[in-house]
Amino acid sequence: MTTLIARTVSKACLPIIILFSVSLLLAGHDNPGGGFIGGVMFATAVSLMYVVFGLNYIEALYNNNWDKWFGIGLLVASLTGIGAMLFGYNFLRSMSIYATLPLVGSTKIISTTFFDIGVYLVVIGGLLYIFKSMGEDK
């Protein structure tokens, strides 16, 4: 079993890392980051929890096989591509608009963000799926 320090610190870190990973995902188009990095970061955060608290403890809280994550991710990414076809463009053609959102203000909304969300989900799902099946192996 891990030390009290490790457990406390990792509990405190988890929300921060996850928030950071989401910010990496959303800011990725103009600043360092993106779906892949964000996804790997999310995966490290969760794997930190697995390592520190053990598989069984985490599963008691939140049992997830992670396979749904990469399934949904693939779906989101492909649908983004097909979305462009609905407007008569080629598969995966990107589009962007500027919109004024409440609280945030003027924001650029670009279709590749949705594609990146798909990548994000696939990376999280794929890595943690591998991670968990290795961890479960006796």
Partner 1 sequence: MDPFTAITLAVFLPFILAAILPAVEKVLKGNIGWYASAVSFLSLLLIALAAPEIIHGGTIQKSVEWLPSMGIDFSFYMDGLSIMFGFIVSGIAVIIMSYSNGYMSKKEDLARYYQQLLFFMGSMLGMVFSANLLQLFIFWELTSITSFMLIGYWRNRPMSVYGATKSLLVTAGGGVFMLAGFLVLNIITGTFDLVTIMNDPSIIANIKAHDLFLPALVLILIGAASKSAQGPFYIWLPNAMEAPTPVSAFLHSATMVKAGIYLIARIHPIFSGTEAWFILVSGLGIITMLAAGFLAFRQTDIKGLLAYSTISQLAYMVAMYGYTTYQYPGIGVASATFHLLNHATFKACLFLVAGIVAHETATRDISKMGGLRKEMPITFVIGTIAALSMAGVPPLNGFLSKEMFYESSLEMGHLLGGPFEILIPLFAVLGGVFTFAYSIKFIDGIFLGKRRSRVLPKHIHEPSLVMLVPPALLSAIVILIGLFPSVAVQYIIEPASSAILLEDVHLHVSLWHGFTTALLMTVITFIAGIALYKRYDAIAAWQNRFNEIHPRFSVNYVYDSIVDGAKGKSKSFAAFMQPGPLKPYLVSMLLLFLFLGAVPAILVASVIIPANMEFGISFYEGLLLAIMVVSALGAAILKKYLHAIIAVSALGYIISLVFIYMRAPDLAMTQILVETLLTIIFLLVIVKVPQTFTEKIGRSVLVRDLLISSAVFATILVLLMNAFQGIASPFESISYYFIENSLPLAQGRNMVNVILVDFRGFDTLGEIVVISLAGLGVYNLIKSRSDDT
Q: Is residue 121 within 8 Å of residue 72, measured between CB atoms?
A: yes
Q: Binding of partner 1 at residue 122 (CB under 8 A)?
A: yes
Per rule CB under 8 A, is residue 71 in the interface with partner 1?
Answer: yes
Tell me, by CB under 8 A, how many residues bind partner 1: 51
According to the binding rule CB under 8 A, does residue 41 interact with partner 1?
Answer: yes
Cβ 87 to partner 1 shortest distance, Å: 16
CB 91 within 8 A of CB 85: yes
Q: Pick one of 23, 44, 54, 59: the residue that binds partner 1 (CB under 8 A).
A: 44
- Of 90 and 100, the one with the shorter C-beta distance to partner 1 is 90
Q: Which of 44, 64, 42, 46 is nearest to 119 (CA)?
A: 42
CA separation for the pair 46, 105 (Å, rounded): 32
Q: Is there binding between residue 54 and partner 1 (CB under 8 A)?
A: no
Q: What's the DSSP call for residue 99? A: E
